[in-house]
A and B are shown apart, each in its own frame.
Chain A
Amino acid sequence: MKKTILLTLGLALTLASCSEDKETSTTENNDKGPLAGIVLSSAPDKPLDIAVLRKTAKPGETVTFIGEVIGSDPVLMDGRAIMIMGDPKKLTACNKKPDDECERPWDVCCDDPDVITASILTVQVVDDAGKPVKAGLRGVGGVKELSTVTVTGEVAKGSNEFNMLINATGIFVHPQS
């Protein structure tokens, strides 16, 4: 009986320490992974709204803008440093509407498709070869769906009036109120 109790306690402690290690290692990936270098300690000044940026920015230009991780489903890709961001002044996440119990409020499905198209852009972090880094942005600096993020980066080649791609060099995730 004593042996059984001691064995059970020992097993429980081992499992608990294993899960702690897992949590610690996940945090370590976010804080010290390949994308840790892009997390900014403070929000850059005078960010533009995404809808304004879409109309004014040109490929090659360095820009700073603010938006939310909304505008599509999914908005974050697993395993690759790429995400969709949208302008909260033009788009409304479903969870901000009363009595809306949408499971994926970031898809802004209630908004006009033309407004959505004009108010979103894609943010990616690229490696030396120009390809998105093989690590997801989820959790980096606290990024998740519906997060408010200020981004600095360069408008990628190939961006045009219909589609904008930003190669980010810095991101700041605003604390959620």
Chain B
Amino acid sequence: MLPFTYALRNLFRDPSRLAQTVGGSALVVLLLIAAVALNQGMDSVLATSGSPRNVILVGKGSEESIERSEVEIGAESAAATSIASIESRLGVSAISGEIVYQAPIRTESGREEPSLLRGVLEKALLVHTSVRLLEGNFPGPGEVMVGHLAHRKLGVDEEELKIGKKLFFGETSVTISGRFEAPGTVQESEIWFDRNDLASLTQRDSLSAVIIRLKEPDIEEAELFTFQRNDLELSAIREDQYYEKLSIFYKPIKMMTWVTAALVGAGAIFGGLNTLYAAFAARIKEMGTLQSIGYTRTALFISLIQESLLATLTGTLVAFVLAYFLLDGRTVPFSIGTFTLALTPTVIMSGLATGILLGSIGTLPPALRCLLPSLPKALRSS
């Protein structure tokens, strides 16, 4: 076997070529990390946004979009009296009739962005158990409570959504009375209104959904209720399954991130291959000389792979450092909420695997081209 120092010394023969290889592999690994982190972040927030113990009663035909659903106001009390398995705390049933609406919201600075609005009464806190009030109070008439990441959804500084600041729904202003967190869920980007306020602002006399929290994750009684009261035209769906269906809806977007990463990555890989072909072609005579003094083609091949791996893994390390400073902890808004990019073990292992594959499989064609010529031909090459 050739000594490891041989491979290390060869790397610095041509510093510009080394920089190209390191830079190219850093770019490919960074793109892959970003794509994996994006997909994981979106899947994670949608997976944790719903609870298996919560059941959403929506209008028939609106199972894939609560915003389009219409549910009679009377459905809330009908469900409360008919479904025995609803959880209750201190005698209050965990059932929340809500209005869910997507509309542009304007801040005091004039920035206007679409936002997810939820009209609730205080019982909503019995159902959305991940919600915690950070400061202020639950919204009353003329007030709203904003999620911890609502400022990211609106594209404004956190300062603009402090308690006491105003938000505008059309011409109507509302005052921020509280801030809440709901870690890892889409609710963190929502703006919660008093239900009666949102009903008058949106001119509706119906709810979007009735959300119930059950003692056990068993939807049967809720389904039975929808059959027995078919005049209410309801469908029952488990909250976690509702968000799971939404993640299928975002599949095209996730596919696009992979396609983009693959296209840019392919360009970087072909560029890298080009560089390696040129680098190894200039060393055919050197390889022939080493063979003539006794080193086998296998030993030379392993040395070339070592060289390549050193370069690509250096690029991988650069990619990890860049990802740490540019991506880790970043929040990304999307239509129904916000998710956070994180360098999880899966993301890191994906990046590492890519770096290793680039250095090993990516080196195969140029290395084989360099080692395949016969010894006399290799020694005669220029």
Any A CB within 8 A of the CB of B171: no
Interface centre among B220, B230, B231 (most CB of A within 10 A): B230
Any A CB within 8 A of the CB of B353: no
Question: In the complex the two chains form, is B231's CB within 8 Å of A117's CB?
Answer: yes
Residues of B in contact with A (beta carbons under 8 Å apart): 60, 220, 223-224, 227-233
Residues of A in contact with B (beta carbons under 8 Å apart): 71-73, 77, 79-80, 82-84, 113, 117, 120-122, 124, 132, 162-163, 165
Question: In the complex the two chains form, is A165's CB within 8 Å of B228's CB?
Answer: yes
Question: In the complex the two chains form, is A120's CB within 8 Å of B220's CB?
Answer: no
- Closest CB pairs A-B (n = 3): A163-B231, A162-B231, A82-B227
| A129–B220 alpha-carbon span in the complex (Å) | 17
Q: How far is the CB of B270 from chain A (nearest CB, A)?
A: 45
Residues on the A chain within 8 Å of B232, using CB: 163
Question: In the complex the two chains form, is B233's CB within 8 Å of A117's CB?
Answer: yes
Q: How far is the CB of A7 from chain B (nearest CB, A)?
A: 42
Residues on the B chain within 8 Å of A162, using CB: 231
Residues on the B chain within 8 Å of A84, using CB: 227, 230
Q: How far is the CB of A159 from chain B (nearest CB, A)?
A: 10
Question: In the complex the two chains form, is A82's CB within 8 Å of B230's CB?
Answer: no
| Contact flag A82-B220 (CB < 8 Å), given A72-B60, A117-B233 | no
Chain B: CB-nearest residue to A75? B227
Residues on the A chain within 8 Å of B233, using CB: 113, 117
Residues on the B chain within 8 Å of A117, using CB: 231, 233
Residues on the B chain within 8 Å of A124, using CB: 227-228
Q: How far is the CB of A83 from chain B (nearest CB, A)?
A: 8
| A80–B228 alpha-carbon span in the complex (Å) | 12
Write 18 A-B pairs (CB below 8 A) sorted by A numbering: A72-B60, A72-B230, A77-B223, A77-B224, A77-B227, A80-B220, A80-B224, A82-B224, A82-B227, A82-B228, A83-B227, A122-B228, A122-B230, A162-B231, A163-B230, A163-B231, A163-B232, A165-B228
